[in-house]
Chain A
Amino acid sequence: MATEHRRQHRIMLVREWDSQTSGSGCCGRLGGEHCDVGHPDTFAHNRPLMEAMGVIYRALRSELPRDAVEITVVDPRNMVWLIPTILRDGRRRGMGAGELWRQVNAGVRNGAIVVDGRALFAHDYAGEDATVDAVLRELAAASA
C-alpha cells in the first residue's frame, strides 16, 4: 500500500487545506474535521474546492498506477516546496525560462493541477471527466 517516491510522473493538486498553516505557533490548529479545540465549520469555505479536487483525485488515482504516477495534494501557501518542484519538473521537460515562469505563476493557484511541471486549472474544465481527460492528455504529452 505504501508508495515509492521516485516515479516517472508527478501530478500536484494545488488547493488550501481546511487549517491554518503559518505563524500560529502555540495555537496551531483551529478547525477542520474532528478538531480537538476549535470548530469544524471554521474553514467551511475551503470544503467545496477540497471536495471537488477530491473527486478528481479519486478518479485519477483509479486511472493511474501508483508506481508510475505520484499524485500529491499541496497547499498553495507551501511555495517553498511548490515553486522548486514545478521548476524541476518543467526543466526536465525542456521548458525555457519564460515558459517556466508562466507555469510557476499558474501553478501557485488555488485549484491548479500541475502535471509534470505544466499547470492546468480545475475550473477551466467542465466536470470531472473533462478534467481527468485533460490531465491524461498532458501525461501523454509529457511521456512523448
Chain B
Amino acid sequence: MKGKRAVEGDHPGKGRPLPAVVVFVAVMAIFALAYRFYSVYLAEKVYALDPGFVTPAHEFEDGVDYVPTNRHVLFGHHFTSVAGAAPIVGPAIAVVWGWVPALLWIVLGTVFAAGVHDTGSLVVSVRNKATNIGTLAQTVINPRSRNLFLAVIFFLLTLVNAVFAIVIGTLFDSSPEAVIPIFAEIPLAIFIGQYIHRSNSSALVPSIVGVIVLYALIVVGIAYPIDISGVAEAMGMSARTLWIIILFIYTWIASRIPVWILLQPRDYINSHQLFIALAVIFLGVLIGMDTMTAPAFNSVEGPRNWFPFLFVTIACGAVSGFHSLVSSGTTSKQLDRDTDARYVGYMAALGEGSLALGAVLATTAGIGIVGLDWGAQYADFATASDGALGNFTQGVAGFASNIGVPIAYGTVFAAVVVISFAATTLDTGVRLQRYIIQEIGEIIGNGPLSRNLNLSTTLAVLLPLGLALAPAGENDTLAFGRLWTLFGTTNQLTAGLALAVIAVWVTKGGRNAMAQIVPLTFLLFMTVWALIINLREFVSNRDWLLAPLDLAILVLAGWLIVEAVVAIRNARTEARQVGAPADRS
C-alpha cells in the first residue's frame, strides 16, 4: 500500500507554523472547562450524586478493603492504575491522518466518552455495594451479559499481549541501547522489593536510587547497545521476531512467579517514571516553543481511512473499557463521598487524555526538533504503525533536548519508559489470560486445563505469540497496525458494555441517559464499521488467522448491540411504569 501526503493547510493561521504550546494550552483549557461544566452536569443531572449517600467505604468500613479515602489519594491510586503505554501508542499511530483529527478524537472522546464512562462505572458500582462491572452487567442487564463480558475480555487480553510484545520487540530492535537498562530493571526491582519487604525499610531512598541507577544505565546502554540482528539472521528471522520470542519466554516465567517478587516492586520505579515522562514532555513543550511540523490534516491511501479507523486506533487516551474494571473493582470500595466520584473518575479520564496529548505533541512537533521528516515517517498507515514508537521516542528526545538532555540519551530514556509500562502490561496480561484459561477449563470440565499451571500459562503465551508472529511476513509492515486496530475494537467493546450498563442504570433511575447512549452508539457504529472493513480485507488476503478472529469480535459486537438495545428499551419501559423511582438501586 503506497500512501501520499496530501496536505490541506499544513498549519492553521495563514500558513504560519503553530507553536505546540498553543495546542497544549488550548487542550488543557478545554479539559478545564469540561471539568468545570460538563462533569458538573453529569454529577448533578445524570448521575444525581448525593453528598448524603452512604458509600460502601462507610457502609462496610473495615480499614482493610473498605476505607473512606481522601479523594486526592484515591485519584493518585486510580490514575496510576489506568495509565500505561496504550495511550501513547495509539495516538503515535493515529497522527498519520494529521494532528487535528487525532487531537479532536482525544479531546472529544475524553470529554464526552471517557469522562462519562469512567465516572459512570465508578458511580454505578458505588450505588451497588462496590460490585464489579462484570457482575453489574449480569445484574443490571441480564445473566448472558457476564458471558459476553468474559468473551470480550478473552479476546482483548490475547490482543493486548500480542501488540505489547510487538511494541517491546520493535523498540528493542530500533533502540538496542535500551536493552541493558530494561534487563537491569528486573534485578533492580527484585532487589528493591526484597529490601523493602524483608527489612521493613523505607521505600523512598531505594525507589529513587532505583530510578537513578536505571537512568544511569542508559549511558552504559548507549556505550554497549545489544543488537541481536546477527543471531536472528543466523536463525532465519528478523531481530524483532527473535525479540518477541525471547519476550514471551520471559513472560512465561514472569507470569508464573509471585507478584511480590517482580511485578509489584517494579511499581516503585514505574510510579516515578510516569510523572518524570509527563514532566519532561510538557516542560519541553513549554520551554522549547517548537512548532507543529506535521500537517493538520493528511489523507492516507488504502483501506484504512480515518473514518472509522481513527476511533479504534486511539482507544486508551480517548476512551478505554478497561478503566471500568479499575473503577468498579478497587476505587469504588474507597470512595469517601458519592460526590468525590466526579473528581476521581472524570479527572483520571482527563489525566489519560493528557498523556495522549503528550504522545500527539511528541510525534507532530517533537520529531521536528530532531530533524526527522514527518512526511517520510508517516508516508502511509503501514509506515506509521511500524514506526510510531520510534517516532514517539524521537519526539520525546526532542522535547528533552529543550531542557538540556542530549538527544541520544533522551531517545533511550523514552524507550525505557514505554518498555517499562509495556512490559508491566504484558506480565499482567499473560497472568490474567492464564486465569481466564483456567476458568474456561473449569467451565468445560477440563481438569488439566484448569489445574495444570504449565499448560494454562503455555496456552496464554502461545495464543498471542501466534498472533504476533503468524501474519508478520518479514516485509509485512502493516501486521502491527492490523493487530493494533483489532485490539482497539475489543477495548471499545468493553467500553460499550460498561456504557450500556451505566445507561440502563441511569434510565432505571428515571433520568436522561443520552450522555451514555450517544458515545455508546458512536463507539459501536465505528467499531462494527472498522471490523467489517477489516474482515473484507482479511478474507480477500486469505488471512485465515485474523479473519476468524475479526469475525468472532464482530459477532460479539452484534451480541452487545442486541443486549444494549433490549436492555435500554426495557429500562425505559420500566421507568415509565414505575414513574421515575429513586435512583439508589
Contacts and interface: CB of A to CB of B under 8 A. Distances in A.
A binds B: yes
A72 B73 CA distance: 8
A142 to B, nearest CB: 18
B83 A73 contact: no
B316 A29 contact: no
Contacts of B266: 22-23
A21 B270 CA distance: 9
Contacts of B336: 2-3
Interface string B115-132: 000000000000000111
Interface residues of A, number: 63
Contacts of B264: 16, 20, 43
Interface stretch (A49-57, A88-96, A132-140): A49-57
Given A30-B428, A108-B202, A25 B76 contact: no
A13 B68 CA distance: 12
A117 interface: no
B132 to A, nearest CB: 4
A5 B340 CA distance: 11
Contacts of A45: 258, 260
Contacts of B69: 72-73
B90 to A, nearest CB: 11
A27 B271 contact: no
Given A20-B267, A43-B259, A25 B316 contact: yes
B112 to A, nearest CB: 21
Interface string B133-160: 1110000000000000110010011001
A75 interface: yes
Given A3-B336, A28-B322, A45-B258, A104 B204 contact: yes
Interface of B: 51-52, 54-55, 58, 61-65, 67-73, 76-77, 80-87, 130-135, 149-150, 153, 156-157, 160, 196-197, 200-205, 207, 258-260, 263-264, 266-268, 270-275, 316, 320, 322-323, 325-326, 328-330, 334, 336-338, 420-421, 424-425, 428-429, 431-432, 435-436, 491
5 contacts: A2-B51, A23-B420, A26-B84, A34-B131, A36-B133
Given A21-B267, A22-B267, A75-B77, 14 more contacts: A1-B58, A20-B81, A21-B77, A22-B80, A23-B83, A25-B316, A27-B425, A33-B65, A36-B132, A61-B61, A61-B63, A79-B203, A106-B202, A109-B202
